Amino acid sequence: MARTSPLVLDAMIVTGNTKAAVKAAGGGSSDLWTVPPDQIHYDPRDNVRPLDQDRVRHLAELMKANGYDRKKPLGCFVRKVGGEDRIYVYEGQHRYHAALLAIKEGGFAKDKEIDRLPCVIDEAKSVNRANLIYAGINNNDGEKLTPLQLAEKVVELQELGEPNATICDRLNVTDQTIRDVLLLAHAPAALHKLVRDKVVASTLAIEEIRTHGGEKALERLTNAAAQVKASGKAKVTKKALAKPAAHKITDVQAKLLLQALQSVLHDPVFGKLLPETIAGIHTVLTPLADLLDAKPLSAKKTTASRAAFEATPFDSREFKGKGALKSVGADIRIGSVDGGHYVMATTILLPGEGRSGPLKAADVTSGFYWSLPEQAFAAGVRSIRKFVRFEANNARNGKERTAILTWLATLCAAEPEIARFVELQERVEQQGNAAWPFPSSPVVQRALRSGEREGK
């Protein structure tokens, strides 16, 4: 069995006295603490990212020419070591090491010498290992941690007793992200090396582990790495991986499965099935909506295009910002189709951008019918949340983003049925990501469109 990387837990931090440490280091204070660089200490365990010597060299040369940018102070805390209060850097390690290197080599431009470094020192009561990790990850957001680096820190947070819900909230990541990086964290050490050496992308490694397990994924990726190296390339791509032998679903079987699910979807008592079953069928069929023969919406609409059919407004939820946030807004609109199905459309307003969809039977945001209005509202919540978190350009870290996400959280708290379907849809989607691949060959697609039989 391939060996996995051991987790080394760090010792508990014993905090010290800030003023005593600064005084002992010969530092002073204006708006910031300013401390001689050689009186600031460094422990690599306090930093979430390994030190990159190339980046240190680059910053050192910039400092020789321009001096140290005081608008970027170091993040520090005081640790008591052997009865002595010492200042340790945990944010800005590359700037700290670059300053030391520049001072050692000399060659500063006129008036650009570095004698002290600006520091912001955390209060002792806020300093603990978990908070250092959170701060390190969030403050590295401009140059994001790799999934493997994130995985190592998630494991450490779990070992420190941090619940997954807290980790997700403080890092603004999903449960799926936590599951993915933990798959990578517990993979064989040799697979970690392939990722660190940038031979295999983290996302590809996670996909392989999820599909084949850690041992088999390592074997497949190692073989692929040898092949691409022999061909003069440096990185393994998905195309380089051997396709596993598997029992394939024939075109006829795929069509029959699709038709069976479609029949269940349009059954008059479909809405009485278990919520998990309803959500699962919607999840499977939604991506294939353009391949389906739509059920007539009414006797008068049998020849009409489903995309052109306007749904009847049924219900809505709306949010309007006030004061400084008056340019922020969002709504979820529900439409009734043929008296027994529901569709959803959303509007999102942010400074300088937004998104709105029409309330149609083939609306792009829902992709298919929902059997219950709460399901449609849940899909709207997820659609807006996804846009604000991952797609909007101007709201990723601002008050506007927080305002809309708070509204969605309040809506779910006030309406438990909507919250239940939000959680259910996410769980079914996550499980579906690892499900069997639906055949997508041209032959299958033609069969789905025309209903032709195999060999005809």
Query: 18-137 is classed in which CATH architecture?
Result: Alpha-Beta Complex (3.90)
420-433 core/surface letters (b: 16 or more CB in 10 A; e: else): ebbebbbbbbeeee
> Where do the domains of the chain lie?
18-137, 252-433
353 DSSP β-pair partners = 350
Order of all β-strands in the sheet with 329-337? 312-320, 329-337, 341-350, 353-356
The end-to-end CA distance of the chain, in Å, is 49
Instruction: Report d(CA 61, CA 50) in Å as an integer.
Output: 20
Q: Which of 137, 122, 126, 128 is nearest to 170 (CA)?
A: 137
Sign of torsion over alpha carbons 261, 266, 307, 252: positive
* pTM for this model (two decimals): 0.40
Digits of tens for pLDDT over the chain (456 positions)? Answer: 455 555 455 566 777 887 788 888 888 765 578 999 999 999 988 888 888 898 899 899 889 888 898 888 999 999 998 889 999 998 889 999 999 999 999 888 888 899 999 998 888 888 888 888 888 888 765 567 788 888 888 888 888 888 888 888 777 778 888 888 888 888 888 999 998 888 898 889 888 888 888 888 898 899 888 888 888 888 888 887 866 555 677 776 777 777 777 777 767 677 777 777 777 777 777 666 655 544 433 333 333 344 445 678 888 899 888 887 888 889 998 888 766 678 888 888 887 777 776 665 543 333 456 778 888 899 899 988 888 877 776 544 578 888 888 899 999 999 988 988 888 877 766 654 444 444 444 443 444 444 433 333
Give the pLDDT confidence of 195-212 residue by residue, as tens digits: 888 889 888 988 888 888
d(CA 144, CA 163): 22
